[in-house]
A and B are shown apart, each in its own frame.
Chain A
Amino acid sequence: MSKMTYRDAIRSALREALRDDPRVFLMGEDVGGYGGAFKVSHGLLEEFGPERVRDTPLSENTFLGAGIGAALGGMRPVVEIMTVNFALLALDQIVNNAATLRHMSGGQLSVPLVVRMTTGGGRQLAAQHSHSLEGWFAHIPGIKVVAPAVAADARGFLLAALRDPDPVFIFEHATLYPVEGEVDERAGPAEIGRALVRRSGDAVSLITYGGTLGKALQAADELAVDGVEAEVVDLRSLRPLDTETILASVSKTHRAVIVDEGWRTCSFAAEVSARIMEGGFYSLDAPVARVCSAEVPMPYAKHMEDAALPQVPAIVDAVKAMLVSHG
């Protein structure tokens, strides 16, 4: 085990994959000469050369589609999209090809494609670089969607994605890159589709993923001061979704607050809430609550952006309101 940033943990997985598997190559905007917009691939061009670390033109739809084609051709491409907002330019290839080709061809094709992109707000990048749209992607059968919240998962999910025969989309919250965590570089892939309880408690389940895990844990610490022990569930994988772990936690705590940086309406939190209704209704002591982003395009000014995003006080308040009204 060693301390490593989320960014370095991803790079560690990329380097290992490039070293061990000649089929692996990276492509995306500025992944090579620039070192990656978020410095994730820094140094890899020098180490592995321009054939395997490929700078692309600004053509998201086409280089993602080329990733699909290369995967069909036996390679293991890792495509980087700078932010989820830019991935919207590639939705044709994602929804119409990556997700469909296996089923539509009667099982003849397999698309072992890995796509990494940043998501989320908190860096004053306003309304075209800050949204959390991973819930949209989780809607689509045929692809897998993971959102690592800690450095170890950032490494483990990338290794898992590269071993997966199907397209895997990795959403990296942009505020997490400099955050350090414990990483075992000898550890293999993480299990896609498995949620983890990050903090044990019995009063309420805080269910979250990605960039809001840290806030949920902090809220749990604050609640503990008042004697409320919150359990924090890190979903880690949005598709497939580990319903079992969610329901096990809710059956223990009887209360659930879902924290999701997406907008509330049609959010991923709505899906989690529905699963709890379907599978855990009779274990609930209170209606499920959600802490989501305000329903506005992300504003630039810091105080306004802070107000738009889920914050620790809002999580604490949601739990307290639930305990007061349904204590």
Chain B
Amino acid sequence: MSDIDRARALALLRQMLLIRRFEEKAAELYSVGKIRGFLHLYIGEEAVAVGTMQALTPEDGIVATYREHGQALARGIPAGSLMAEMYGKANGCSRGRGGSMHFFDVSRRFYGGHAIVAGGLPVAVGLALADKLRASARVTACFFGDGAVAEGEFHESLNLAALWKLPVLFLCENNLYAMGTALARHQSQPDIRRKADAYGMRSDAADGMDVLAVEEATRRAADHVRGGHGPFLLELRTYRFRAHSTADPELYRRKDEVAEWKQRDPIALFTSRVQAMGIVSEADLTSLETSVADEIVEAVRVAEAGPWEPVEDLTRDVYTETP
């Protein structure tokens, strides 16, 4: 905590703010029909994506879920490329074929955007297997939610990764709800990190509303994996402030529960902490907001200006085209 300097505080704050404002804009654009399909907002969970990414290198692989706007932005995929993807434009990061749930950017080793709960875990295990077979020191970081731990693929993947000592960092974003089903209503053992014990895998849990705590825990976990000691399960305890998706009337949770969690808003928490330390001023915050707002305006401009993929290209890339 004490080793945080002004530059790093501003960088973390800016990334979290960018995610928050990007998604607020996305929600607004959804309401006017610019973005369609499903839109799963990450608001409230920003400290998880931003904190974890600090501990990963550009060579590490990322596998994420359908709620991946935060991870994609924190990974450094340009906001315009993501916004264009949600518009369905050809300059989107997946050429407009994936939309909000399926961001891909291979140049940044960002392997999706998976909308089958737990479906990304086996893929992450395989990416790590390739790295192990090639004696590479890379880590594959695999994000998934608390809902995924009920799936067979979660257990099979933890078993296989531990059995073969593969360099996978399993990152469980526990926001307490599998869509609308509370953790205690779908898990006989709701202490998620303990599931690693069954596979002889190391695990830890961290406060997912505290960006520095997330970073620190991820760094320890990533060091373990990078050191060749096998996979690691890190549970990040967080909360989603918005509905599951744009289609969710939120009948399953109390308004006061949401209000309580909002008291622990990761951006507000971190802001007041660094202000109290005297390393970030009001003026800094104003200038951060301005620079983030400019970036969002530019992202929307990129999306609006982007071309549509020609219909003639509909069946391109179902298979690899050979010249």
Contacts and interface: CB of A to CB of B under 8 A. Distances in A.
Interface stretch (A55-63, A150-158, A246-254, A300-308): A55-63
Interface string B110-125: 0110101001011111
A321 B129 CA distance: 56
Interface in A76-119: 77, 92-93, 96-97, 101-110
A166 B321 CA distance: 10
Given A72-B111, A166-B320, A61 B130 contact: no
A313 interface: no
Contact of A59 (B123, B134, B159): B159
Given A61-B152, A102-B320, A72 B126 contact: yes
Interface string A140-173: 0110100000000000000000000110000000
Contacts of A67: 126
A75 B156 contact: no
B139 to A, nearest CB: 13
Nearest to A165: B320
Given A92-B116, A142-B319, A105 B122 contact: no
B97 A68 contact: no
B293 interface: no
Contacts of A110: 320
Contacts of B124: 69
In this complex, the interface size class of chain B, counting residues with CB under 8 Å from chain A, is: 35 or more
A226 B269 CA distance: 89
B58 to A, nearest CB: 16
Interface in B125-166: 125-131, 133-134, 140, 152-153, 156-157, 159-160, 163-164
B51 interface: no
Nearest to B152: A61
B94 interface: yes
A70 interface: yes
Given A69-B125, A72-B123, A73-B130, A105 B94 contact: yes
Interface in B96-118: 96-98, 102, 104-106, 111-112, 114, 116
Max chain B Cβ within 10 angstroms of own Cβ: one of A56, A68, A106, A165: A106
A188 interface: no
A57 B160 contact: yes
B153 A51 contact: no
Max chain A Cβ within 10 angstroms of own Cβ: one of B105, B316, B319: B319
A59 B122 CA distance: 10
Interface in B270-323: 316-320, 322
Contact of A102 (B122, B131, B317): B317
Contact of A69 (B93, B97, B98, B127): B127
Contact of B122 (A74, A93, A106, A108): A93
A104 B163 contact: no
Contact of B104 (A54, A73, A109): A109
Nearest to A102: B317
A67 to B, nearest CB: 6
20 contacts: A54-B164, A62-B160, A65-B157, A66-B122, A68-B122, A69-B123, A69-B124, A69-B126, A69-B129, A70-B126, A70-B127, A72-B127, A73-B129, A77-B126, A93-B122, A93-B123, A102-B317, A104-B97, A106-B317, A108-B105
Given A72-B130, A106-B94, 15 more contacts: A62-B122, A62-B160, A68-B122, A69-B130, A71-B126, A73-B130, A73-B131, A73-B134, A75-B130, A92-B119, A104-B98, A106-B317, A107-B95, A142-B319, A165-B320
Interface of B: 61, 92-98, 102, 104-106, 111-112, 114, 116, 119, 121-131, 133-134, 140, 152-153, 156-157, 159-160, 163-164, 316-320, 322
